[in-house]
Amino acid sequence: MRNLTEGREQFAALLTRPLPTDVSSSATTLGGRPALELRIEAPGTAGEDVLLYLHGGGFVVGSARVTAHLTVALLRHLDGRAVSLDYRLAPEHPFPAAPDDCLAAYRELLDSGADPRRLVIAGDSAGAALAVVTMMRARDAGLPMPAAAVLFSPAVDLTLSGASMRSKDGVDPIFTPADLEWYFDQYIAGGDRSTPEASPVFADLTGLPPLLIQVGSSELLLDDAVRLAGRAGIDEVTVTLEVAPRQPHVFHHGESAEAAAALERAGRFLALRLRGRKEGS
């Protein structure tokens, strides 16, 4: 991507969808960063559930608005609102700017009165990695965990050491290993790619809430998801891994039956965990 401005515009043009007519959106700030607040305008949707969504884009492109259709799909299963964060992007703001912004956003939600029992977090690709890192950092800071997290095609190994980087090279319809190398170079800016806060597949996940991980079998990042689920299991975290056959990276963006079904399951997963937490379980 030789021209960042052009690349960001192309990414937005490719993925952004009109918001449904029953969805209201408003610009806000969270943790000192711009954010997009979304609500479903329907009876029985004015509750206190909060979804914090972190968008994908390789830490370099993307925005809260670009992935708003994914946020809305999850929000339809909640009773409340979603806030999607525009964290700082690389290379202008390399690691750890993005995780700093995400933790600040999470902390502000709690400080402003969000009940962690009614708070969930989700993200796609780089945003899914940031969701994991945010929970790790919140845990280490002594903050309460959210009720659950949903991770779409998480990019959690910047070292590109997963076997699928080779086995799915040429199968993945979106990325080559060189593409991912470029994105991660912008983000890590010469730093240690294996540090757990950059590559949470190498982290201690003890204490994290229940996780749902969804990934396509055609992805270079397939093993990121598989190994993250394994790491969560080792660390006694409740985790569900779903691998969608012959699906690409963040296939949820598409309009296929597989995408719709995966988003439906993800929304139900969050709703079930919220009900459980609200009932004290």
Active-site annotation, residues: 125
What are the start-end ranges of the H helices in the chain? 4-15, 68-75, 97-111, 126-140, 164-167, 177-188, 222-234, 257-278
For the chain, how are helix, strand and coil distributed in percent, rounded to 5? 40, 20, 45
Gyration radius (Cα) of the chain, Å: 17
Both tokens of residue 57?
């884009």
How many Å apart are CA 189 and CA 98, to the nearest integer? 13
Cβ of 161: how many Cβ atoms within 10 Å? Answer: 15
Q: Which residue has the tokens 């240690």?
A: 192
Both tokens of residue 43?
């009876």
Angle ∠(12,95,154) on CA atoms, nearest 5: 60
DSSP string, 232-252: HHHTT--EEEEEETT--TTGG
Specify whether the CB–CB gap between 72 and 24 falls below 8 A. no
User: Going by C-beta distance under 8 Å and a sequence separation of 6 or more, which residues neighbour residue 234?
Assistant: none
Both tokens of residue 196?
């757990």
Specify whether the CB–CB gap between 152 and 219 falls below 8 A. no
